[in-house]
């Protein structure tokens, strides 16, 4: 059994509960209508490597051995000749392969196989809710599903602040770190951009390394704004690997698969040399430092050393992409043996600092899993450091001159917002939403079990941008909208160089401009960085159309995207000052010619577009991706006629409403 070349036949109706959602989705769509799944005889591929991970262990994309196992399993799923075979191999795998790894690899395969495109991936929070919420919920779910009939069940409420008390200052931004939508976005991003697969096309996506840099840079910019709204200073980068980590983190998550609590990290922990035979990890902290030094050397030399000893120049257009792939690293790194695996192994070192030699038989902490890493304050310190290194490269690039910044004949006379918050004021508050738990429990409750949780929300608004087109004919503009804090932690105006790194992309879109005056209105809901609320937290009852219908498939098409409810930072009750920035560039110079019919592209800024080129020719983060001319000391110095700014505030109201019951 399990040997290469042998065949197997499984009974129908074989799925254990843990896999139900993903596997039945596949079978419902392509198999029969009945819950039983036809299993065909197939030649069994070699699954020895993926089967080495015990069934009840945690699985981490960042652990090299796990990554290799997953790469192999992805290859197996990708290699099945048709969906029938894929279903068959799934049914063979699911009692034998670790559920987390199975779910990850099957998700990657479904996203990348031509014959499963458009298939509904059940939201990960429903499949593995234990990665996203307080385990007390599951105990309660068990209780109520035994005693209360499904129609009479009230949602189980998850408190918003349950991982630390107010004595921990970092807790002020726990609503951001522990937000389900943010963690789901991060999980999905890494699903769309896997590190390893034999089919290089899965890994080698257009500007993948650059997007790794940019998407995580934006997370840091957003987190810093969030911190500043909460009277915390900008995040301190984790650049000295020998220094104790000040921030502790106690995740209060249980793994249902491993039947274990996720390990905490105590205040003052230090990363230590790793020697964990069980994970085939043996690496010293000094190795991390060596990779770091080589990486920085490459930036200083503006060239990467290739395995054959030659060097490859880093150019202005693609240097950041090369560095991103080298840093992450993925199998498309130009020289993994030399530059190593800096970013991923940073996650690994941090996530094992409580048990570096496995003497206590402990698993990794939340930093070891892309679905949970963003809960931990150290995630932001690590990625802030990574971002600083990328910024060294960006700082060496030529400054943008008039030729790159101007749009001759186009003048943006004003930008503003209109909405329920009042003129140029964003309004935020708490909101409660529900998520379905019944699919992801380790028992099968009869009927629905809902968890109610609290998250940040903003009032929707419109951007209003007045543009004069003096070119004498119609033009097409690319609108680029950002927002940033205006004052530093001490209340002094932020210098341009600091402020540009805090710029949060809110939207980017193209729009025709008639000759003469134009007033462009754009809805916040249409943002190019977010996915709609319903896609982040969809539950069966929210879903339009019949499961498996074309309508449902389109709706579920892709889960990557910043959650819309987190578009705007929290602000403060008094109104936190921010500056809104709008720029119009020449679409003829920015555009990428490609067919976007049927693609999921509503969060393209942070996620790209599936199977397509990144839809903007400019550097990601343009025009703030690099320092400006030294004469520019403030944002006002930077402005051109085709740009405009507006001072705004974000006013937070400490009240909670139920989603769908808008005030
Ligand atoms: Cu997304 Cu470090 O890459 O977590």
Task: Supply the pLDDT for residue 535.
Answer: 75
Residue 485 is inside which H or E element, if any? strand 475-485
Whole-angstrom distance, CA of residue 126 vs CA of residue 445 = 13
If asked whether residues 63 and 42 sit together in one domain, one would say: yes
If asked whether residues 371 and 518 sit together in one domain, one would say: no
Residue 47 maps to a domain: yes
- 509 confidence band (pLDDT: 50, 70, 90): very high
- Of all residues in the chain, what percent carry a pLDDT higher than 70? 88
- 199 confidence band (pLDDT: 50, 70, 90): confident
Residue for token digits 């749009």? 407
Residue for token digits 């000040």? 246
Active site residue 316: no
Residue 122 maps to a domain: no
**Tokens representing residue 187 in the block:** 């999980």
If asked whether residues 311 and 448 sit together in one domain, one would say: no
If asked whether residues 231 and 329 sit together in one domain, one would say: yes
Residue 648 maps to a domain: yes
Last residue of some domain: 117, 136, 153? 117
If asked whether residues 592 and 470 sit together in one domain, one would say: yes
The set of protein residues with a Cβ atom below 6 angstroms from ligand 1 is 186, 190, 216, 343, 347, 370, 373, 383
If asked whether residues 369 and 429 sit together in one domain, one would say: no
If asked whether residues 374 and 416 sit together in one domain, one would say: no
In the chain, the N- to C-terminal Cα span, in Å, equals 61
Average pLDDT of the chain, as a whole number: 87
If asked whether residues 326 and 428 sit together in one domain, one would say: no
Least confident piece of the model among 24-28, 144-148, 619-623: 24-28
Task: Supply the pLDDT for residue 31.
Answer: 57
Side-chain-side CA neighbours of residue 454 (13 Å) = 14
Report ipTM for this prediction: 0.99
pLDDT in tens, 364-415: 999 999 999 999 999 999 999 999 999 999 999 999 999 999 999 999 999 9
Least confident piece of the model among 110-114, 165-169, 224-228, 569-573: 110-114
Output the domain CATH number for residue 276: 1.10.1280.10
Q: Does residue 92 or residue 76 have the better pLDDT?
A: 76
Residue 250 maps to a domain: yes
Task: Supply the pLDDT for residue 575.
Answer: 97
pLDDT in tens, 170-198: 999 999 999 999 998 998 899 888 888 87
If asked whether residues 464 and 544 sit together in one domain, one would say: yes
Output the domain CATH number for residue 45: 1.20.1370.10
pLDDT at 272 > cutoff 90: yes
Last residue of some domain: 93, 117, 141? 117
Whole-angstrom distance, CA of residue 511 vs CA of residue 513 = 6
Query: How many A from CA of 329 to the centre of ligand 1?
Result: 11
Residue 449 maps to a domain: yes
Which ligand 1 atom sits nearest the alpha carbon of residue 344? 2
Query: How many A from CA of 95 to the centre of ligand 1?
Result: 30
Which of 88, 74, 77, 279 minimizes the C-alpha distance to 191? Answer: 74
Query: How many A from CA of 330 to the centre of ligand 1?
Result: 12
Whole-angstrom distance, CA of residue 382 vs CA of residue 477 = 37
Q: Does residue 635 or residue 124 have the better pLDDT?
A: 635
Catalytic residue among 57, 170, 247, 328: 328
If asked whether residues 486 and 554 sit together in one domain, one would say: yes
If asked whether residues 498 and 637 sit together in one domain, one would say: yes
Mean of pLDDT values over 154-166 = 85
Last residue of some domain: 394, 418, 438? 394
Whole-angstrom distance, CA of residue 104 vs CA of residue 411 = 48
* Residue from 177, 216, 371 whose mutation best tests the ligand 1 pocket (most atoms within 8 A of CB): 216
Instruction: Look up the domain containing 94 and give its range.
Output: 17-117
Residue 642 maps to a domain: yes
Output the domain CATH number for residue 492: 2.60.40.1520
- How many domains is the chain partitioned into structurally? 3
Mean of pLDDT values over 2-28 = 48
Residue 7 maps to a domain: no
- 13 confidence band (pLDDT: 50, 70, 90): very low
Residue 164 maps to a domain: no
pLDDT at 551 > cutoff 50: no
Task: Supply the pLDDT for residue 90.
Answer: 86
If asked whether residues 474 and 337 sit together in one domain, one would say: no
Whole-angstrom distance, CA of residue 640 vs CA of residue 646 = 14
How many residues appear in the chain? Answer: 663
Between the ranges 9-23, 88-102, 510-524, where is the mean pLDDT highest?
510-524
């Amino acid at each position: 059994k399990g040997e290469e070349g042998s065949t197997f036949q499984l009974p129908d109706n074989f799925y254990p509960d843990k896999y139900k959602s993903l596997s039945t989705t596949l079978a419902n769509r392509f198999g029969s209508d009945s819950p039983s799944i036809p299993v065909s005889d197939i030649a069994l591929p070699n699954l020895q490597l993926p089967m080495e991970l015990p069934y009840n262990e945690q699985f981490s994309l960042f652990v090299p051995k796990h990554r290799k196992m997953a790469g192999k399993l992805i290859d197996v799923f990708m290699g099945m000749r048709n969906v029938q075979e894929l279903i068959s191999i799934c049914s063979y795998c699911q009692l034998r392969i670790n559920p987390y790894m199975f779910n990850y690899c099957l998700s990657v395969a479904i996203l990348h196989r031509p014959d499963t495109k458009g298939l509904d991936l059940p939201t990960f929070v429903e499949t593995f809710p234990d990665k996203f919420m307080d385990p007390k919920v599951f105990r309660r779910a068990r209780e109520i599903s035994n005693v209360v009939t499904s129609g009479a069940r009230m949602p189980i409420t998850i408190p918003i602040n349950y991982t630390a008390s107010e004595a921990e200052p970092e807790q002020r931004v726990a609503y951001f770190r522990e937000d389900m939508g943010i963690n789901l976005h991060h999980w999905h991003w890494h699903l769309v951009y896997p590190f390893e697969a034999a089919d290089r096309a899965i890994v080698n996506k257009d500007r993948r390394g650059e997007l790794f840099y940019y998407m995580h840079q934006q997370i840091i910019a957003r987190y810093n704004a969030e911190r500043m709204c909460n009277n915390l200073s900008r995040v301190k980068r984790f650049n000295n690997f020998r220094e104790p980590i000040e921030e502790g983190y106690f995740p209060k998550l249980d793994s249902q698969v491993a039947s274990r609590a996720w390990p905490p990290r105590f205040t003052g922990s230090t990363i230590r040399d790793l020697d964990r035979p069980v994970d085939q990890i043996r690496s010293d902290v000094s190795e991390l430092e060596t990779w770091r030094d080589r990486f920085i050397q490459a930036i200083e030399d503006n060239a990467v050393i290739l395995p054959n000893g030659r060097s490859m120049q880093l150019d202005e257009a693609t240097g950041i992409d090369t560095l991103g792939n080298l840093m992450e690293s993925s199998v498309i790194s130009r020289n993994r043996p030399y530059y190593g695996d800096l970013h991923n192994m940073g996650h690994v070192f941090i996530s094992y600092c409580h048990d570096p030699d496995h003497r206590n038989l402990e698993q990794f902490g939340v930093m070891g899993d892309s679905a949970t890493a963003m809960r931990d304050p150290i995630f932001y310190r690590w990625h802030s450091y990574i971002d600083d290194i990328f910024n060294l490269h960006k700082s060496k690039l030529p400054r943008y001159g008039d030729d790159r910044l101007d749009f001759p004949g186009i003048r943006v006379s004003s930008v503003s917002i209109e909405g329920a918050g009042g003129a140029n004021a964003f309004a935020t508050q708490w909101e409660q939403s529900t998520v379905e738990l019944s699919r992801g429990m380790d028992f099968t409750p009869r009927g629905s079990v809902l968890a109610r949780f609290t998250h940040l929300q903003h009032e929707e608004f419109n951007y209003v941008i007045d543009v004069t087109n003096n070119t004498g004919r119609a033009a097409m503009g690319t609108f680029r909208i950002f927002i940033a804090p205006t004052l530093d932690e001490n209340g002094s105006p932020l210098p341009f160089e600091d402020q540009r790194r805090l710029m949060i992309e809110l939207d980017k879109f193209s729009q025709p401009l008639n000759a003469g005056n134009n007033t462009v209105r754009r809805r916040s809901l249409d943002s190019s960085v977010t996915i709609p609320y319903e896609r982040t937290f969809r539950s069966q009852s929210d879903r339009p159309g019949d499961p498996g219908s074309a309508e449902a498939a389109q709706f579920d098409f892709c889960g990557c995207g910043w959650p819309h409810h987190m578009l705007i930072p929290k602000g403060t009750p008094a109104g936190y000052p921010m500056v809104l920035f709008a720029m119009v560039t020449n679409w003829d110079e920015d555009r990428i010619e490609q067919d976007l019919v049927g693609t999921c592209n509503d969060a393209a800024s942070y996620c790209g577009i599936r199977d397509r080129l990144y839809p903007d020719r400019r550097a990601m983060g343009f025009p703030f991706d690099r320092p400006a001319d030294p004469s520019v000391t403030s944002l006002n110095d930077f402005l051109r006629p085709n740009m405009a700014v507006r001072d705004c505030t974000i006013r937070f109201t400490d009240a909670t409403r139920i989603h769908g019951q808008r005030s």
